[in-house]
A and B are shown apart, each in its own frame.
Chain A
Amino acid sequence: MSDSGDSDVAWTYYKDRPEWNDVTPVPEDEGPNLVVVIAHSEKFVDVYDYFRAVLQNNEKSERALHLTKDAVELNPANYTVWQYRRDLLKALGTDLRSELDYVELVIKNSPKNYQVWHHRRVLVEWLQDPSQELELTGDALMQDPKNYHAWQHRQWAIKTFGLYEKEMDFVDNLITDDVRNNSAWNQRYFIVNNHLGWSDLNVQREICYTLEKIKFIKNNESAWNYLKGVLIHDKRGLSGNAVVTSFCEELYKNKCRSPYLLAFIIDICDEAIKKGETNCLHNATRAVELCQALATKYDKIRSKYWNYMCEKFKKAQQEEENNKEKAANMDE
């Protein structure tokens, strides 16, 4: 937030307020060596001179509480002001509900500020009342569906107070609005992981949901990552779920060459190799071919990486062939 104080005509400096004339302002002591000096407005200097005085006197009063509001407005990132404000709220027994309304306003103006969200969290902890948090974070996420602070606060409130019930609908709406919203996919995982659980049924349901979304937009890393995340909880692994593997092969047959699809098939091959369960579709030779296709055609920006992966699979391929030879020799 910029310091727009100088344009504020009606403003009276603290040093000119009779009700403050019992306080001696404490100027900032920069010392003799001036570097990275901010040319603060006169208003900023005035407010903070009085804030330092209040802090030094440990003054716990309504006027001090009001002063912290002015100080916050000039710099919402000043964590000391916020902390002193919390001390004041406690000492004065201030109605914390009105403080919730106040911090909501500040959050609306500075939705990406760590200190305001921390203040909010402390208030909710004190009140043990999370009833407004879903709406508050919901509003912030309407403005910016990927606001990290809002998601962090929301997850904290949900986890601390068990507010899972309607969260899947909320996430569903966000994913419907923007299927590429990675934060929403992450939240989906959070709900299943903490609330619904990874039962076989839920795993299968999440897979179906994700495949539908991939059908809709194939080149979406968020959905592919989520699919892999869900399959961590499938006992059969990445390669053992027939719905998934046949879905991938179907896409491939229909000429889909999304790098995420090809990378996914490579991962299936990789798992099959590691488990010693390769088959005609998932083996080192296929992985080598896919890496080469990615490197030369479908994901050229990562060509070096795919060549690096290719070398790994070539070794596995060599082993596969050696094994075949051995088996053939044994037959003779």
Chain B
Amino acid sequence: MNHEENKIMAHRQHVKYFMRFLNILPSSLSSHDTTRVTIAYFSVSGLDVLGAISSVSLDLRTRIIEWIYRLQVHPDKNNGDMSMCGFQGSSTINIDLDPPNNHYRCGHLAMTYTGLCILLAMGDDLSRVNRKALVAGVKALQTEEGNFAATLSGCESDMRFVYCAACVSYILNDWSGFNIEKATDYIIKSIGYDYGIAQCPELESHGGTTFCALATLSLTNQLHKLSEQQVEGLKRWLLFRQVDGFQGRPNKPVDTCYSFWVGASLKILDMLQYSNYGANRRYVYETQDTVVGGFSKWPDTCTDPMHTYLGLAGLSLIGESGLLEIEPTLNITKRAYEHLKSLHAKWDNEDLHVL
């Protein structure tokens, strides 16, 4: 590939790329069957950061919104139980189930989070979201340790879902399902000897989980719980991830997605401006497919929606022209974030009227 040519954003191709993913996917992606909402999230948010939401037809927009709402799990009709509430990632298990199997139809925190992000990017007013139920669903998933499982039906718990739970609580403007103190404690216990943050206590520090942890501390207004030494250590650890692009762990290869995970972590700590934008930008562009659109993790490898979105989001953080600004903590555009803020104001008003 001509790398000189590849320094220009293949804007039109990326829009088409995401549009294709929103429509139909090949059978080789069958292993993503239960997480289709995340593919939709990367595609919709990708279009958003490209400034191309307006090019989504009204018909497609309606289809996406209706599809997401259809994946919402509502309280149990018989006993009002809300512990399984949230969004499912697809309609694979979107069937009526009787006890004792009814818990199998349950929300998944990553899908609830990304589902809400899609609704926000599409301009929906979340009026059909059962906020109380979703918050109860979040609450049911926090463990004694302070972290979260993704679903009720047999699932690991770790830092990824702490972040998803924080995002859901923030978007719904309701923290009653999220024990902030316990989650903060878990995050601080997961800081390593090198000051990076891991998936769980004592595991290796990782760029992705460091983002999840820092974004959670920011969303819960707990960044001040970090000591000066921890903050300075984190700054150093994060900035040392830059090789040209960013790596996720020391001595690992650079990967496009860390331009977002590490970039956004630095942004949260107000340190991104001390990284090298030029080298970062050059690396991400090396992973761009200018012919059919998309970004990959390494140059000349297969593109995918996740790396495409995160590559664009990473470029947006360093002020690439032609891209909308990103709100790093929620990982949505500022445009979608402003829409959320207007909804929060509206909900506050409604609450006042009730009083």
Chain A, range 61-88, C-beta contacts under 8 Å to B? 74-80, 82-84, 86
Q: How far is the CA of A186 from the CA of B96 in the complex (A)?
A: 46
Question: Known contacts A39-B27, A80-B93, A80-B153: does B276 contact A31 (CB below 8 Å)?
Answer: no
CB distance from B302 to the nearest CB of A (A): 12
Chain A, range 187-209, C-beta contacts under 8 Å to B? 189-190, 193-194
* Contact of A39 with B24 in the complex, beta carbons under 8 Å: yes
B170 proximity list for chain A (CB < 8 A): none
A321 proximity list for chain B (CB < 8 A): none
Chain A, range 37-58, C-beta contacts under 8 Å to B? 37-41, 44, 48, 52, 55-56, 58
Of the candidates B27, B40, B92, B96, the one whose C-beta lies within 8 Å of that of A56 is B96
Question: Known contacts A35-B22, A39-B27: does B193 contact A79 (CB below 8 Å)?
Answer: no
Give the nearest-CB partner of B277 in chain A. Answer: A304
Determine whether B224 belongs to the interface, using a CB cutoff of 8 Å to chain A.
Answer: no
* Contact of A36 with B40 in the complex, beta carbons under 8 Å: yes
Interface size class of A (residues with CB under 8 A): 35 or more
Determine whether A249 belongs to the interface, using a CB cutoff of 8 Å to chain B.
Answer: no
* Contact of B92 with A28 in the complex, beta carbons under 8 Å: yes
What per-residue 1/0 map shows which CB atoms of A226-238 lie under 8 Å from chain B? Answer: 1011001000000
Give the nearest-CB partner of B94 in chain A. Answer: A29
* Contact of B29 with A38 in the complex, beta carbons under 8 Å: yes
A303 proximity list for chain B (CB < 8 A): 276
* Contact of A190 with B239 in the complex, beta carbons under 8 Å: no
* Contact of A37 with B25 in the complex, beta carbons under 8 Å: yes
* Contact of B95 with A52 in the complex, beta carbons under 8 Å: yes
B36 proximity list for chain A (CB < 8 A): 36, 38
Q: How far is the CA of A183 from the CA of B199 in the complex (A)?
A: 13
Question: Known contacts A56-B101, A83-B154: does B92 contact A225 (CB below 8 Å)?
Answer: no
* Contact of B151 with A79 in the complex, beta carbons under 8 Å: yes
Total inter-chain residue pairs, C-beta < 8 Å: 200
Chain A, range 106-158, C-beta contacts under 8 Å to B? 114, 117-118, 121-122, 146, 148, 151-152, 155
Instruction: Report how many residues on chain B are interfacial, defined by Cβ distance under 8 Å.
Output: 71
Of the listed stretches B173-181, B200-208, B339-347, chain A binds B200-208
Determine whether B100 belongs to the interface, using a CB cutoff of 8 Å to chain A.
Answer: yes
CB distance from B286 to the nearest CB of A (A): 16
Which applies to chain A's interface (DSSP): helix, strand, loop or mixed? helix
Give the nearest-CB partner of A194 in chain B. Answer: B202
Q: How far is the CA of A244 from the CA of B93 in the complex (A)?
A: 59
Give the nearest-CB partner of B59 in chain A. Answer: A33
Give the nearest-CB partner of B62 in chain A. Answer: A33
Chain B, range 128-165, C-beta contacts under 8 Å to A? 150-151, 153-156
Of the candidates A26, A118, A229, the one whose C-beta lies within 8 Å of that of B194 is A229
A225 proximity list for chain B (CB < 8 A): 193-194, 250
Give the nearest-CB partner of B118 in chain A. Answer: A35
Q: How far is the CA of A152 from the CA of B157 in the complex (A)?
A: 12
B22 proximity list for chain A (CB < 8 A): 35-36
* Contact of B30 with A146 in the complex, beta carbons under 8 Å: no
* Contact of A118 with B97 in the complex, beta carbons under 8 Å: no
A9 proximity list for chain B (CB < 8 A): none
* Contact of B204 with A151 in the complex, beta carbons under 8 Å: yes
A39 proximity list for chain B (CB < 8 A): 24-27
CB distance from B292 to the nearest CB of A (A): 18
A221 proximity list for chain B (CB < 8 A): 240, 250-251
CB distance from B263 to the nearest CB of A (A): 14
A263 proximity list for chain B (CB < 8 A): 236
Chain B, range 284-325, C-beta contacts under 8 Å to A? none
* Contact of B193 with A2 in the complex, beta carbons under 8 Å: no
* Contact of A222 with B63 in the complex, beta carbons under 8 Å: no
A35 proximity list for chain B (CB < 8 A): 22-23, 40, 60, 63-64, 67
Of the candidates B35, B62, B66, the one whose C-beta lies within 8 Å of that of A31 is B66
A33 proximity list for chain B (CB < 8 A): 62-64, 66-67, 70
* Contact of B251 with A220 in the complex, beta carbons under 8 Å: yes
A1 proximity list for chain B (CB < 8 A): 31
Question: Known contacts A31-B67, A36-B25, A56-B97: does B34 contact A75 (CB below 8 Å)?
Answer: yes
Of the candidates A26, A55, A75, A190, the one whose C-beta lies within 8 Å of that of B33 is A75
Q: How far is the CA of A303 from the CA of B153 in the complex (A)?
A: 49
B21 proximity list for chain A (CB < 8 A): 36
Q: How far is the CA of A58 from the CA of B271 in the complex (A)?
A: 54
Question: Known contacts A33-B70, A182-B250: does B31 contact A302 (CB below 8 Å)?
Answer: no
* Contact of B27 with A29 in the complex, beta carbons under 8 Å: no
Give the nearest-CB partner of A189 in chain B. Answer: B193
Shortest 4 CB-CB distances between A and B: which pairs? A229-B193, A83-B154, A3-B30, A33-B63
Question: Contact residues of A with B, CB < 8 Å?
Answer: 1-3, 6, 26, 28-41, 44, 48, 52, 55-56, 58, 74-80, 82-84, 86, 114, 117-118, 121-122, 146, 148, 151-152, 155, 159, 180-183, 186, 189-190, 193-194, 220-222, 225-226, 228-229, 232, 263, 301-305, 308
A-B contact pairs, 8 of them (CB 8 A): A36-B22, A38-B25, A75-B33, A118-B154, A189-B193, A189-B202, A301-B242, A302-B240
| Given A74-B30, A186-B203, A221-B250, 14 new contacts (CB under 8 A) | A2-B27, A2-B28, A28-B92, A31-B70, A35-B67, A36-B24, A44-B30, A55-B93, A55-B97, A79-B154, A155-B203, A181-B251, A222-B251, A302-B275
